[in-house]
Amino acid sequence: MATSDHGIADFAWSPNGKTLAYETIRVSSDAASALELHLVSDGKDRIVGSMPGPPAVYGCETQECADRLNSHFAYSPDGQFISAAQNLRPAFRLWTADGVDRSPAMTDTPFMLVWSGANLYFRDSKGVEVYRNGTVSLTLQGVAWIRPKASPAGDQILYEARDSSGLAHTYVVSTISAVVTDLGKGRAEPSYLTSRYIWFAGERACTATDQCGLAPTIATGAGYIYDLQTGMESASIITGVADTWPHAA
């Protein structure tokens, strides 16, 4: 069976900066694909693991589908593990830093993953679960979080979720107490700027004059900064956040 390499799908540096981990998409003659894990260190590039890759062609026509689209590839903050997931063709792996597969046995395939400290949080059909010390446990029952982000301070996770009308809310959950706080209705795609300040985008319900297709909401084009200490929100000139530093601890 012939195969071809379609380049780098994702990459991450180890926290100590000594190893580059990256995934390549390998496509076979029957159009099946695989993601191969490479580790580069000491001048050597090794393939040490693999997982099913995404389909060659995909797309979304609904908001629900778009909210579920997610791929993840990251080192744990302590550098001991590499986690990877994609849900176009559901797949998940938890490798050690040397590429040994340590994926826990689960009935559902995790997606929307995020590391906070040594703990790996993820979404499945039950809600939000956490992999901690080799054990999986439910932490937010029924919560369908979207693209979570861990605080640089390591004590919170920021995420978006939709209410019954389809409108986005931004929430923050304490990883210590599991207390959830709603930071605002019509606030989407949140990101930490620092441990104190959060950015998010404005969103509103669609009206008859909007061209929203099948989506129930539309972006307003406005951005906001929220102060976690004071609870105050202010307008922002930032239109989107690609990355921030420092990363989650």
CA 87 from centroid of its chain's CA atoms? 11
Please tell me the predicted confidence (pLDDT) of residue 58.
Answer: 72
Say yes or no to pLDDT of 2 above 50.
Answer: no
| Whether the predicted pLDDT of 165 surpasses 50 | yes
Res. 4: pLDDT tops 80: no
Q: pLDDT above 90 covers what percent of the chain?
A: 74
- What mean pLDDT value characterizes the chain? 91
pLDDT of residue 92: 96
pLDDT for 6 equals: 61
Any idea what DSSP says for residue 101? B
**Cα dist. 20→16, 98, 236 in Å?**
10, 12, 35
Q: If one looks up domain 145-249 in CATH, what number appears?
A: 2.120.10.30
Is the predicted pLDDT of residue 102 greater than 50, yes or no?
yes
Percent of the chain with pLDDT over 70: 94
In this predicted model, what pLDDT tens digit does every residue of 65-80 receive, in sequence order? 888 888 999 999 999 9
Residue 59 has pLDDT above 60, yes or no: yes
1: pLDDT strictly greater than 70: no
For residue 247, what pLDDT is reported?
Answer: 78
Per-residue pLDDT of 190-208, as tens digits, reads: 999 999 999 999 999 999 9
pTM: 0.92
State the DSSP H helix or E strand holding residue 234, giving kind and residue range, or none if neither: strand 233-236
Residue 109 scores a pLDDT above 60? yes
- The per-residue pLDDT for 192 is 96
